[in-house]
């Protein structure tokens, strides 16, 4: 349901362009004609649930995207499903909800976001103009400093006296001893050892820097960097996954696998698989698994089928829970996704890109946290029309270890066992 999109969330982008990008994200939903149409109506319910959370938390961009996605699905895309005609009652209810609630809310969000984007853009332009003015002033100051340096160099070269008296050669040529006044002239000769050392060398009594020191001072002035950071500009740095196209973090209670293995123990001892639905909630753009819902089911050594899914939906609606994946055992095998598992998980991941498939392998004391590879496996399995156990190519890989999970050892999983 979600594909990677570019994050155009900087204040230097024109407001209308940013709104166009949000609308593009809101249209990123497709209908798989082989997926039960009821799954889409179920997904729509959870979509609204998440949109309302985003709205309450003030995350207006993600709320806008989900409301728009909901309308795109049920006004336009769902009509392409071959079983669309069998859900007339749901269609009437949804159309009424869209007209009375969702559309007005979405339009209010559109206006609010546009105002926000306009304000950010104006701040960016003002900042850019202020920086341009400062840069011009810095350039003028550099030019004035260059002129002052030229004047200092010119004044310095004309003020340094000759080191040899002008009439010294006359005195030598005539073989005469210099008179007292002439010796006084020699006293003005400055020999190399008379120069002071250090950074601030100058001719005695002249107040002028020697050329080397003067040039070093000039270099220090002209090469100094301005203290103002020219790269600063206002931005709206959001990392919301719906906008950026990345997966949101999913937090898993640390005792999830232990608790599930205990409730599956009777089946495991008979070499029968057990499965459950992972459910939870959204908060601050992160997903939290809080419940395992164990539906009525029929298991075999290598498969597990759920029954009476409407009972799961009733529980989720009562507790406002979102479907975040599923968990099942491999009583005698290692932790991996079989061909049947791949198809089962596809239906979860199409509806929720972050959905996890947790596989517990008690015989090997291992656990796998899997997803279909987003850029290959998900599309490949969605287009595969075979059923039951059948071979799939292994390269490129169809599934991978989930990278977007975090174990939360402080949280405790809750179980709702509908088998009883």
**Is residue 40 in some structural domain?**
yes
**Is residue 219 in some structural domain?**
no
**Is residue 216 in some structural domain?**
no
Beta strand spans in 237-321 (E)? 250-253, 275-283, 286-294, 296-300, 303-307
**Is residue 109 in some structural domain?**
yes
Is 341 in the same domain as 401?
A: yes
Is 302 in the same domain as 237?
A: no
Is 127 in the same domain as 4?
A: yes
Is 264 in the same domain as 390?
A: yes
- Spatial neighbors of 113 by CB under 8 A, at least 6 apart, are 18, 19, 22, 60, 61, 64
Give the number of domains in the chain. Answer: 2
Is 241 in the same domain as 316?
A: no
Phi and psi of 295, rounded to 5°? -80, 170
Q: Which domain holds residue 78?
A: 1-157+233-245
Is 5 in the same domain as 57?
A: yes
CB count in 10 Å sphere of residue 43: 21
Is 147 in the same domain as 256?
A: no
Is 266 in the same domain as 366?
A: yes
**3-state secondary structure at position 229:** coil
- Per residue of the chain (420 residues), give pLDDT as tens: 443 334 444 567 899 999 999 999 999 898 998 889 989 999 999 999 999 999 999 999 999 999 999 999 999 999 999 998 888 777 778 988 999 999 999 999 999 999 999 999 999 999 999 999 999 999 999 999 999 998 888 887 766 555 555 554 544 455 555 444 443 443 444 444 443 444 444 434 433 343 444 444 444 444 444 343 433 333 333 446 687 778 999 999 999 999 999 999 999 999 999 999 999 999 999 999 999 999 999 999 999 999 999 999 999 999 999 999 999 999 999 999 999 999 999 999 999 999 999 999 999 999 999 999 998 999 999 989 888 888 898 889 999 999 999 999 999 999 999 997
What CATH number is associated with residue 294? 3.40.140.10
Is 339 in the same domain as 240?
A: no
Is 364 in the same domain as 281?
A: yes
Q: pTM for the full model?
A: 0.72
Residue where one domain finishes, among candidates 211, 245, 279: 245
What CATH number is associated with residue 98? 1.20.58.80
Tokens 């100094």 sit at which residue? Answer: 224
């Amino acid at each position: 349901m979600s594909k990677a999109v570019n994050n155009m969330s900087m204040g230097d982008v024109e407001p209308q362009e940013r709104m166009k990008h949000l609308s593009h994200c809101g249209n990123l939903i497709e209908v798989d004609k082989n997926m039960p149409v009821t799954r889409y109506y179920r997904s729509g319910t959870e979509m609204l649930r998440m949109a309302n959370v985003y709205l309450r938390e003030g995350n207006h961009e993600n709320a806008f995207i989900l409301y728009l996605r909901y309308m795109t699905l049920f006004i336009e895309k769902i009509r392409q499903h071959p079983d669309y005609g069998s859900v007339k009652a749901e269609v009437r209810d949804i159309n009424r909800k869209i007209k009375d609630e969702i559309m007005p809310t979405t339009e209010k969000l559109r206006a609010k976001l546009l105002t926000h984007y306009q304000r950010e853009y104006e701040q960016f332009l003002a900042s850019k103009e202020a920086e341009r003015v400062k840069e011009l002033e810095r350039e003028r100051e550099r030019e004035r400093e260059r002129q002052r340096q030229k004047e200092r160099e010119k004044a310095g070269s004309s003020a340094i006296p000759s080191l040899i008296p002008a009439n010294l050669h006359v005195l030598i040529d005539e073989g005469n001893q210099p008179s007292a006044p002439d010796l006084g002239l020699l006293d003005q000769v400055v020999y190399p050892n008379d120069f002071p050392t250090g950074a601030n060398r100058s001719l005695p009594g002249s107040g002028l820097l020697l050329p080397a020191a003067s040039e070093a001072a000039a270099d220090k002035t002209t090469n100094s960097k301005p203290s103002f950071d020219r790269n600063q500009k206002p931005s709206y740095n959001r990392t919301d996954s719906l906008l950026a196209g990345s997966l949101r973090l999913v937090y898993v209670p640390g005792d999830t696998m232990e608790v599930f293995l205990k409730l599956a123990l009777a089946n495991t001892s008979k070499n029968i698989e057990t499965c459950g639905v992972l459910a939870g909630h959204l908060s601050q753009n992160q997903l939290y698994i809080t419940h395992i819902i164990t539906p009525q089911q029929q298991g075999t050594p290598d498969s597990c089928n759920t029954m009476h899914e409407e009972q799961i939906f009733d529980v989720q609606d009562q507790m406002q829970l979102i479907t975040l994946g599923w968990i099942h055992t491999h009583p005698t095998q290692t932790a991996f996704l079989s061909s049947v598992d791949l198809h089962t998980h596809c239906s979860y991941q199409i509806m929720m890109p972050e959905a996890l498939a947790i596989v517990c392998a008690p015989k090997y004391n291992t656990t796998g946290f899997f997803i279909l590879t987003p850029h290959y496996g998900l599309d490949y399995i969605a287009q595969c029309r075979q059923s039951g156990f059948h071979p799939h190519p292994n390269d490129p890989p169809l599934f991978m270890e989930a990278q977007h999970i975090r174990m939360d050892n402080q949280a405790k999983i809750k179980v709702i066992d509908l088998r009883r």
